[in-house]
Amino acid sequence: MKTCPSCGSHRVVRSETKDWEIFIGDVKIVYDKVEDHCQDCDDRGDFGAENDGRIEKAIKKAGLVKLLCPECEVSMYAELVGWIERTFFKGKEFRFNACAYRCTMCDELFDTAETMDRSLAAARAALKEDQ
Task: Read off the pTM.
Answer: 0.69
Residues 101, 69: one domain?
A: yes
Domain ranges, residue 115: 65-130
pLDDT of residue 91: 86
E-only strand ranges, 39-74: 44-45, 64-68
Q: Residue 119 domain-assigned?
A: yes
Same domain assignment for residues 39 and 80: no
Examine the domain organization and report whether 71 and 126 are in the same domain: yes
Residue 55: the pLDDT is 94
Residue 130 has pLDDT above 90, yes or no: no
Q: Among 38, 5, 3, which residue's Cα sits nearest to residue 15?
A: 38
Domain total of the chain: 2
Q: pLDDT digit string (tens) for 57-98? A: 999 999 999 999 999 988 889 999 999 999 888 888 889 999
> What is the distance between the alpha carbons of residues 30 and 63, in angstroms, rounded to a whole number?
12
Nearest to 28 by CA among 55, 67, 66: 55
Residue 24 lies in a domain: yes
Residue 43: predicted pLDDT: 96
- How far is 80 from 97, CA to CA, in rounded Å? 12
Q: Which residue has the higher pLDDT, 29 or 26?
A: 29
Structural domain includes residue 49? yes
Whether 19 and 58 map to the same domain: the answer is: yes
Q: Is the pLDDT confidence value at 131 over 80?
A: no
Nearest to 81 by CA among 111, 124, 126: 111
For residue 115, name the pLDDT band (cuts at 50, 70, 90): very high
| Residue 7 within a domain | no
pLDDT of 29 strictly over 90: yes
